[in-house]
Structure 1
Amino acid sequence: MHIETLERRTHSISLTPLIDVVFILLVFFMLATSFTDWRPITLATGTSEAAPGETPPAVVRVDADGTLHYNGSASRDTRSLAQTLNAAIEAGNVSAVIVQPEAEATLDVTVGALDALAGAGVAPMSLATGAKADRP
């Protein structure tokens, strides 16, 4: 008696769905990840008045559109303004920089100005609120 045996088929596992899932995860993480360089902005705290012999601070006003005003001139170029402020601080003409946002200035515009000045190396800085700082 002859018994027929069927050949067993070998099952192969396809890697295509696994590669698809890995590719989708890769695309998701690439799109969801922020590559922004986060760094702290160092601000001086305290509200002490300047001593009579001490040099006055420089007041930089921030408009709603992000324009910076210093010494009667308006500028959107933070690098040149930062160079001017750093030179004044090194020369001893300015003791610190006070950033004063206008009433219409939003938080992102104000923080953008602070970040740009801090990134350019302006220090020490403080943030004025309200009408406490004098306008130039």
Structure 2
Amino acid sequence: MTFRRRRRIPPQVNITSFIDVVLNLLIFFMLSTSFVTQPGIPVNLPKASSKVKSAAQENTTITITADNTIFINDQKIRDVQELRNILTMLRQEQHSDLIVVKADESVAHGVVVTVMDIAKTSGFSKIAIATR
């Protein structure tokens, strides 16, 4: 009795679906990283040599542009009294006592100090200054 040997087909791994998934992930990450830009008002922040990691939570942000226009969370403020009223209202609604000041490097020091003083008197005890 002679037995025939079966032809063995070597096992193959089909990686086509794996390549499809990897390429889809690559496209997703390429697109999603293009959305991570500094939102809002264009401000030329001053440079600093020390770096501090920012908190992950959402904070109130005051932005001062080169022409001394003041924004709170991308909302334009008309005058100092409106700034004081909005900050007082935000402090009552918000649990965090941190406020971030983003001032253009060409803004006069007095304007930044005035804004920081208003924030302090409105109840924000922690004030951070944003840099590049």
Report the TM-score, using the length of structure 2 for normalisation: 0.47
Larger Rg, first or second structure (1 or 2):
1
